Amino acid sequence: MAALLLTFLAAVSPQLAAADHGQTVLVVGDSLSAGHGIAQEESWVALLGERLRSEGYGYAVVNASITGDTTTGGLKRLPRALKVHRPAVVIIELGGNDGLRGLPTRGVQSNLESMVRLSRKSGAKVLLIGMRIPPNYGPAYTKSFHELFARVADSLHVPLVPFFLDGIALEDGLMQDDGLHPNSAAQPKLLAQVWPLLTPLLRK
């Protein structure tokens, strides 16, 4: 039965099958990591898998990102993802949709802290990715929202990408027409934000 299951997984998802034989990097994010509006093989998460392979890291990448997801949704589905994939590293890229909905920053921070703790309890190392929201939400809220990621990182001692779209969001030719999602040309730049903070958490 186990052999049949592995054969099925390999046929349906080579990525998941590979994860069963080595260590896994689990990405839990929203549309920025789900590859919204671009081909999946162009997304920064797919590029991460390619770079890990090319540089000799024995890690598979599992992308558990869902367009439109919030920290509440991520927290609800994280325990099952941890149980199924048993990741060595968890990259948390959530919060942007919470901010765009104007949700209280205290709740967003609490959700992210819970996700970090759950990941660590499972034995995984954690990388947190921070976001900002447009200034039209008001200076008090936008400041509190941006700072909540640093508060989580500082209190739980996890590495942080301060702003995922730094050098991307306001640059011509790097965003899709909706003004919210990076295009395919921006995906290597997203990976470049993550890579220097991720590699200290990995081993060859």
Q: CA-CA distance, 119 to 111, in Å (whole number)?
A: 12
For the four alpha carbons of 140, 174, 168 and 65, in that order, the dihedral sign comes to: positive
Please check the confidence at residue 149 and state whether its pLDDT lies above 90: yes
pLDDT of amino acid 53 = 96
Please check the confidence at residue 5 and state whether its pLDDT lies above 60: no
**pLDDT (mean) for 21-50:** 94
Query: What pTM, to 2 d.p., does this model score?
Result: 0.89
Distances (CA, A) of 185 to 34, 134, 173, 190: 15, 22, 8, 10
Domains and CATH numbers, the chain: 18-201 (3.40.50.1110)
Please check the confidence at residue 32 and state whether its pLDDT lies above 70: yes
Please check the confidence at residue 36 and state whether its pLDDT lies above 80: yes
CB-count burial class (<10 Å; 0-12, 13-18, 19+) for 40: exposed
Catalytic-labelled residue, pool 30, 31, 85, 119: 31
Q: CA-CA distance, 23 to 59, in Å (whole number)?
A: 5
**pLDDT (mean) for 104-128:** 98
Q: What is the pLDDT of residues 39-94, one digit of tens each?
A: 999 999 999 999 999 999 999 999 999 999 999 999 999 999 999 999 999 999 99
Q: Is 178 a catalytic residue?
A: yes
Q: Is 181 a catalytic residue?
A: yes
Listing DSSP states for 117-143 in one string gives: HHHHHTT-EEEEE-----GGG-HHHHH
Please check the confidence at residue 19 and state whether its pLDDT lies above 50: no
pLDDT of amino acid 22 = 58
Number of Cβ atoms within 10 Å of the Cβ of 66: 18
Catalytic-labelled residue, pool 30, 157, 178, 184: 178
Locate 102 and state its tokens.
């104007």
Average pLDDT over the chain, rounded to an integer: 90
For residue 60, the one-letter residue type is A
Query: Count of residues for the chain?
Result: 204
Which DSSP symbol is given to 184?
G
Q: Which residue shows structure tokens 């702003």?
A: 163
pLDDT of amino acid 3 = 35
Please check the confidence at residue 110 and state whether its pLDDT lies above 60: yes
pLDDT of amino acid 66 = 98
Q: Is 31 a catalytic residue?
A: yes
User: Is 125 within 8 Å of 90 (Cβ atoms)?
Assistant: yes
Greatest distance between any 2 Cα atoms in the chain: 58
Print burial letters for 120-142: b (CB count within 10 Å at least 16), e (below 16): eebebbbbbbbbbbeeeeeeeeb
pLDDT of amino acid 146 = 96
Please check the confidence at residue 12 and state whether its pLDDT lies above 70: no
pLDDT of amino acid 172 = 87
3-state secondary structure of 147: helix
